[in-house]
Amino acid sequence: MKRKSLLYVLITCLMVSLLATACSSDNKQNASTAPANGDEKVKLVVWIWETAKDGLDLNMEAFNAKYPNIEVEFQTMKSTDLYSKYLITSNTGDTVPDIITVESTNLSQIVKIDSLLDITSRVEPYKDKMSAYKWEDATKDDKVYAMPWDSGPVVMFYRNDLFAQAGLPTDPDEVAQKIQTWDDYYEAAKLIKEKTGAMMYGDSKTNSSNRMFESMMWQRGLWYFDDEGNVAIDSPEIKESADFLIKMQNEGLVFDARANSDQWGNGIRDGKIATVVGGSWHDAIIENQYSPADKGKWSVAMMPKWSKDDKYTGANQGGANLAINKKSKHPEEAWNFIEFMLGSEDSQVKMMAEAGLFPAMLVNNDASLDEKSAYFNDQAIRKVYSQSLANTYPLAYTSDFPMANKLMTDVWAKVFLNHVSSEKALQEMADELRSKTKRN
């Protein structure tokens, strides 16, 4: 009887132990998604720039309702200051910030320094819900270190009143048919200048941001580096795009101002720029910042392609992501915040509709895409953004993008100031990139 009793006690203890272990395991597995509903208040520090914060602010009331014990402190700064400050922070092993906002143009650089939390398993449910190219720069050695936020699908914003004066169509579908290729764009530019005196687009000869050039490359699946990581800026195909823009400049079809500068914005305000081939976020810049008095004069069409037979019709400019500092003391709560903001279609759509942040999340069937913009001639402009995003080559900016972008600006300066041939200038850039990056 005693042996049976002892055996019963041992079996009972073993079952309790196994049950406790299982519960502990379940708690660990669910830690990334369990809300922080304990008594302890947790404070998250988020580094961000002001316009991005405006988007997150739209969802903070709902977030606070779901996670009342997570306090979020936004520390705003310029994106350039954020990156330089975080590089110092990551070297000292500081636990603040918990979360950083990173533009896709700089993401691969930040991932490379091994300071971000591996969130591979956490983002798995969202891999197929985001535009494919957004994961490229967030990934290193098959591990994911950032969650995609917004994107910059490239389209062609155009002044329909200037198009009409030049005898060009103004209906978006008709414009897309008339200007299918960059050659079509060039012919339209000559007409517009002749009939209206306006320039086709704005860019600086000697201080270009390279946005136009990079969009042309991206649409063709070309970049400063090829798919194997080799330097490709001296390829014949890329030289074609560079020569096209040089021709536009030499023929006086371009308003000489760096894109997104005040001088460029003044050209838009004064009706001297007929088109902006740029990311979707330009709609807010045109409507609210530079040209608020021109309601009804702007429309949106797909950007031109190099060839009518090209598979991809879109490109990308910019976009942002959220990532967790791997030294953060609150990684689970940080993930709760990121998942709520970027993993929820409701959150993403709200930021798209009210802050102009077009999501990397594929929301092709959301009703808000059909909403018409009074400013853009009662057009459902988000439909065009969605079409561009769905037809964008899955390209990575790469960690060496900032260097390549700066050297490309120098190429234009050599061509227009020193009268160096495009072939020589691009070759010199390629040689310098190979030397500095150790790429082939």
Torsion angle of the four alpha carbons 166, 171, 172, 175, in this order, in degrees rounded to the nearest 10 = -40
Do the domains at 42-152+317-368 and 156-316+375-437 have one common CATH topology? yes
Helix (H, G, I), strand (E, B) or coil at 74: strand
Q: How many helices (H) and strands (E) does the chain have?
A: 18, 11
Residue spans per domain, the chain: 42-152+317-368, 156-316+375-437
Q: Report yes or no: 78 and 49 within 8 Å, Cβ to Cβ.
A: yes
Rg over alpha carbons for the chain, rounded to the nearest Å, is: 25
CA atoms within 13 A on the CB side of 304: 24
Q: Which two tokens stand for residue 67?
A: 């996670």
What pLDDT is recorded for position 18? 31
Q: Which residues contact 387 (CB under 8 A, 6 or more apart)?
A: 302, 313, 314
Residue whose pair of structure tokens reads 């306006």 in the numeric block: 198
- pLDDT of the chain, 440 residues: tens digit per residue: 333 343 333 333 433 333 333 333 333 333 333 444 456 899 999 999 998 999 999 999 999 999 999 999 999 999 999 999 999 998 898 999 999 999 999 999 999 999 999 999 999 999 999 988 899 999 999 999 999 999 999 999 999 999 999 999 999 999 999 999 999 999 999 999 999 999 999 999 999 999 999 999 999 999 999 999 999 999 999 999 999 999 999 999 999 999 999 999 999 999 999 999 999 999 989 999 999 999 999 999 999 999 999 999 999 998 999 999 999 999 999 999 999 999 999 999 999 988 889 999 988 778 889 999 999 999 999 999 999 988 999 899 999 999 999 999 999 999 999 999 999 999 999 999 999 999 99
Which of 291, 285, 281, 304 shows the shortest CA–CA distance to 382?
281
Q: Could you identify the residue written with the tokens 């936020």?
A: 149
Q: What pLDDT, on the 0 to 100 scale, is given for residue 368?
A: 85
* Predicted pLDDT of residue 10: 33
| CATH of segment(s) 42-152+317-368 | 3.40.190.10
Look at residue 327 in the predicted model and tell me its pLDDT.
Answer: 96
Smallest CA-to-CA distance from 300 within 199, 387, 379 is with: 379
109-113 — which CB contacts under 8 Å span 24+ positions? 109/83, 109/399, 109/401, 109/402, 110/83, 110/86, 110/323, 111/137, 111/138, 111/139, 111/140, 111/145, 111/146, 111/399, 112/140, 112/399, 113/87
Give the pLDDT confidence score for residue 29 in this predicted structure: 35
Q: At what angle do helices 79-92 and 104-112 cross, to 10 degrees?
A: 10
pTM to 2 decimal places: 0.84
Q: What is the pLDDT of residue 23?
A: 38
CATH numeric code, 156-316+375-437: 3.40.190.10
